[in-house]
Amino acid sequence: MPEITIPARPHPVTWELGQTALIVIDMQKDFLYPDGYGALLGNDTELLLRTVAPIQAVLAAARKLGMFVVHTREGHPADLSDCPPTKLTRWPPGNRIGDPGPMGRILVQGEWGHGIIDEVAPLPGEIVLDKPGKNAFYRTPLDEMLRERGIQNLLVAGVTTDVCCFATVIAANDRGFNALVLEDCVASYSPERHTAALETIVAQGGIFGWVSDSAALLAGLENLDADER
Ligand code: TIU
């Protein structure tokens, strides 16, 4: 099984490709488009769109290699039965999950706004995990899916850096998975919080994982192609 070396902070990683998966977190209209949940919380959704082109490039490379790709969506069934009250009542009525919005009910499964944007749409056969929490392991089969495929390493893309990506990286670390965040493939509604989350991940010698970018990953994969020839 080929190995890939990726320059990263705080130090490079060398991972077996067969033990490595790509997780694309919550690239949903509700977060990226101007009329969804992100905007309702007072955020500038425009800041997230710069992730689209690098995620497309990384997805294309991962698919070419046959890497395990997982997409996630944050949301709840129409009756909000798995949405903890704390996730609803922290905001005024009208700004809550389940409230009507221009793209359908906010973060409700099956509504238009809950869907993944077309630019990074899952291919038929790729796993799409619906998650009720910020962390992608919480009340999902992600842990089992990774273990049954022998996956130990996660390449992390998606939104937002400081919320669902950060929560997932922290959970991955506690569950014994390595996580490397591709910094141009993640974005936050706040550039300051984006930087702070990434710095926290790599602090203390990589306390939660690693940070690199799509160019470094893609260059590593090209070297691999050359080595294999
Ligand atoms: N609000 C915010 O930054 N993010 C979320 O609520 N969910 C995700 O990050 N997916």
Residue 56 and residue 66: Cα distance in Å, rounded? 15
Q: What is the pLDDT of residues 58-86, one digit of tens each?
A: 999 999 999 999 999 999 999 999 999 99
Separation of 113 CA from ligand 1 center, angstroms?
Answer: 14
Under-50 pLDDT residues of the chain: 229
Q: What is the pLDDT of residues 114-127, one digit of tens each?
A: 999 999 999 999 99
The residues annotated as belonging to the active site are 26, 131, 164
How many domains, the chain? 1
Residue with CA nearest ligand 1 atom 6: 163
CA distances (Å), origin 117, targets 3, 112, 157: 32, 10, 14
Separation of 13 CA from ligand 1 center, angstroms?
Answer: 28
**Which amino acid, one-letter code, is at 34?**
P
Closest CA to 212 of 172, 153, 163: 153
Pocket of ligand 1 contains residue 189 by CB under 6 Å: yes
pTM: 0.97
Residue 73 and residue 224: Cα distance in Å, rounded? 32
pLDDT of residue 229: 47
Separation of 164 CA from ligand 1 center, angstroms?
Answer: 6
CATH number of the domain within which 177 lies: 3.40.50.850
Report yes or no: 194 and 162 within 8 Å, Cβ to Cβ. yes
pLDDT of residue 227: 61
Domain containing residue 186:
3-228
Mapping DSSP onto H, E and C, the string for the chain reads CCEEEECCECCCEEEEHHHEEEEEECCEHHHHCCCCHHHHCCCCHHHHHHHHHHHHHHHHHHHHHCCEEEEEEECECCCCCCCCHHHHHCCCCCCCCCCEEECEECCECCCHHHCECHHHCCCCCCEEEEECCCCCCCCCCHHHHHHHCCCCEEEEEEECHHHHHHHHHHHHHHCCCEEEEEEEEEECCCHHHHHHHHHHHHHHHHCCCEEECHHHHHHHHHHHHHHHC
